[in-house]
Amino acid sequence: MTQSKTSLENVPVKYSDLISDIETGQVKIPQFQRKFVWGIKASAKLLDSILKKYPIGTFIYWRTNERLRSVRNLGSIELPDPTHGEYVNYVLDGQQRLTSLYAAMKGVQIRDENNKLLDYSEIYIDLTASEGDEIVITEIEGKGEFDIIRLTDLMEGDFMLLAKYPRERHSILKRYKEAIQSYNFSVINLKNAPIDVATEVFTRLNVGGKALTLFEIMVAKTYHIFDLEEGEEQQKVFDLAEKYEALTNELKACHYETVPSATILQVVAILLEKDCTRKSILKLDKMRFIEIWEDATECIKSSIDFFRSYGIAVGRILPYNALIVPFAYFFHRHKKNPSGEMKKRLEDFFWRASLGFRYSSGVESKLAKDIEKIDKIITGELPKYEWSVTVNEEFVEGNGHFSTGKSFIKAILCLYAKQKPKSFDNNLDVIIDNSWLKIASSRNYHHFFPKSWMEKNSDSDYFFVNHIVNITIVDGYLNKNTIRAKAPAKYMTVFADKNPELASTMKTHFIDIEEDGIWENDFAKFFDNRLSRITKALDAFIIKQEQDAEELEVYEDVEETEEA
């Protein structure tokens, strides 16, 4: 069977058909449209143009039998769902005009973005208007009872209501009513277009080139109302936007609410098709998407539980959100937590991807390749990697400029968090929170040799001062109130008096208080010793392979984007 080609159909539509199509659910406003923002005066202007037979622009519909998430209520009126199997016309252009026209004709009440109630029944026809005057008005002060008529009364009033008007008004009442009823509204139907084409048309027409995100498109595409089963009183609805919000709220409890919607879509696509390009996601069958949703979200939660049990307590420091995809795939195929050699190989994969800048570009194609590696790990094999990771001091030093947007820096922060760092003053666990980890100046990040102290007391290059080797994760209170810009020897003396276990505390930060030149404020010694420990700890996670003999250079690390 050959697929019909996308085509455009230009058709005139009468007033009665336009209103009927809205009221029967055949014309719908897709959820990705912006909110209705026209006021009553703008609506009156539109009706005035219709009465004067002026052109009001073309309505562009996407005519399809797909069912999208759409606006169901218009003001106080609940619009029905379209008949099952029938085509639906989703409004791509003209939403404001169409909604305005319908609201005015039906006299509905709509709340605007400021929660102000707009009453569209307060639109009137001025029966005394001269040529060139406004016929449709909203201000009626000074008008006589039979000088005006509500628009809704004109269009839907019964004979008795219209008969109250003086005989000389009857002809103009008839003329205005017929002018609206006979007006030819211009409609273009976009037919046989896939959803990505329809949303691209919408983007170009409506939002000045700002494309809809893949998630917005999939929210529209996967919306589904299930048929009522016997004994059920309420219909079930699959609404991806609501499902994602509920998932995010769940993940907030474990500090992983930072997982973007694009990653969720990638997980679903990988589980269904082992491919997660934009094109493959858009082609996903709606019912298969819905059916696998619960399993996909459970696999995502299992991945996050694994990361947290591994020591990565918060989502903000996960080197790439994309790492959730292969790990979710692992838990889709292997329901138990990994142990033994399998766990070591998963660790090897995690650190290779994190330290090897794996998902800094070409994410989708790399994810498709990497689930093949996960398959090998599940079957007890050691995957071969097409990228090398050689962890030595030169590599860590060269890539260590501190910026919280860099995956390499996040990997080191994961290493720090994995140590369960203790607070300098009491040897209790440091509380790590997403809200404190967003930017480099956040409270959990402490330059062990404070930047302002180094500016005054050292000629060290700023690159080394603002280096991940000089960063420790501490309590925000200590950073702000006790440490500030003091020399390490000075503030560490204070902590030595408070914390008899200070030596073991500092080892959780890869720092040795006796060997690292702290009491002499020797930054070079501190930097070299801590760099060596960090490098050894990272290198221990990598299972060596032949390609790892290659030297890695400083890499221009790019922060991961949220769009799939």
Report CA Rg, the chain.
Answer: 32
Give the residue-averaged pLDDT of 30-51: 83
For 353-401, how does the pLDDT look when each residue is reduced to its tens digit (9 = 90+)? 999 999 999 999 999 999 999 999 999 999 999 998 989 999 999 999 9
* Percent of the chain with pLDDT strictly greater than 90: 58
Q: Which two tokens stand for residue 200?
A: 């691209």
- pLDDT band of 344, cuts 50, 70, 90: very high
For 60-102, how does the pLDDT look when each residue is reduced to its tens digit (9 = 90+)? 998 988 777 766 555 556 777 777 777 888 888 888 888 889 8
Give the position of tokens 């005035």.
Answer: 48
- Spatial CB neighbours of 534, under 8 Å, sequence gap ≥ 6: 396, 412, 415, 469, 510
* Predicted pLDDT at 26: 86
Coil vs helix vs strand at 434: helix
* Predicted pLDDT at 555: 55
* Predicted pLDDT at 549: 60
Q: How do 59-64 and 185-191 pair as beta strands?
A: parallel
Q: Which residue has the higher pLDDT, 233 or 437?
A: 233
Q: Which residue has the higher pLDDT, 7 or 440?
A: 7
Q: Which two tokens stand for residue 293?
A: 């949703």
Q: How far is CA 58 from each of CA 9, 13, 189, rounded to the nearest angstrom?
A: 12, 11, 10
Burial class (CB in 10 A: 0-12, 13-18, 19+), 105: buried
For 484-541, how does the pLDDT look when each residue is reduced to its tens digit (9 = 90+)? 788 999 999 999 999 999 999 999 999 999 999 999 999 999 999 999 999 999 999 9
Write phi, then psi, for 31 (nearest 5 degrees): -60, -25
Total number of residues shown for the chain: 564
* Percent of the chain with pLDDT strictly greater than 70: 88
Q: Which two tokens stand for residue 412?
A: 């080191």
> What is the DSSP track for 469-501?
GGEEE--HHHIIIIITT--HHHHHHHHHHH-TT
* Predicted pLDDT at 553: 53
Q: Is the pLDDT of residue 548 over 90?
A: no
Our CA angle for 302, 303, 304, nearest 5°, is 90
Coil vs helix vs strand at 30: strand
CB 426 within 8 A of CB 498: yes
CB 120 within 8 A of CB 108: yes
- pLDDT band of 2, cuts 50, 70, 90: very low
Q: How do 27-30 and 88-93 pair as beta strands?
A: parallel
For 232-253, how does the pLDDT look when each residue is reduced to its tens digit (9 = 90+)? 667 788 989 899 999 999 999 8
Q: Is the pLDDT of residue 438 over 50?
A: no
Domain boundaries, the chain: 7-191, 214-391, 394-541
* Predicted pLDDT at 542: 95
Mean pLDDT of the chain: 87
CB 36 within 8 A of CB 96: yes
Give the residue-averaged pLDDT of 281-286: 89
Q: Which residue has the higher pLDDT, 403 or 200?
A: 403
The string over 238-266, giving b where at least 16 C-beta atoms fall within 10 Å of a residue's C-beta and e elsewhere, is bbbbebbeebbeebeeebbbbbbbbbbbb
CB 218 within 8 A of CB 265: yes
The closest of 10, 1, 69 to 191, measured between CA atoms, is: 10
The closest of 395, 407, 400 to 363, measured between CA atoms, is: 407
Q: Cα(318)–Cα(371) distance, rounded to whole angstroms?
A: 19
Give the containing element (helix H, strand E) for 191: strand 185-191
Q: Is the pLDDT of residue 447 over 60?
A: yes
Q: Which residue has the higher pLDDT, 440 or 124?
A: 124
- For residue 48, which amino acid is it? D
The closest of 63, 354, 374 to 201, measured between CA atoms, is: 63
* Predicted pLDDT at 564: 43
CB 472 within 8 A of CB 448: yes
* Predicted pLDDT at 210: 57
CB 50 within 8 A of CB 179: yes
Q: Which two tokens stand for residue 25?
A: 């659910």
Q: Cα(167)–Cα(557) distance, rounded to whole angstroms?
A: 81
For 146-179, how does the pLDDT look when each residue is reduced to its tens digit (9 = 90+)? 999 999 999 988 888 888 999 999 999 999 999 9
The closest of 314, 311, 329 to 251, measured between CA atoms, is: 314
pTM listed for this prediction: 0.74
CB 311 within 8 A of CB 430: no
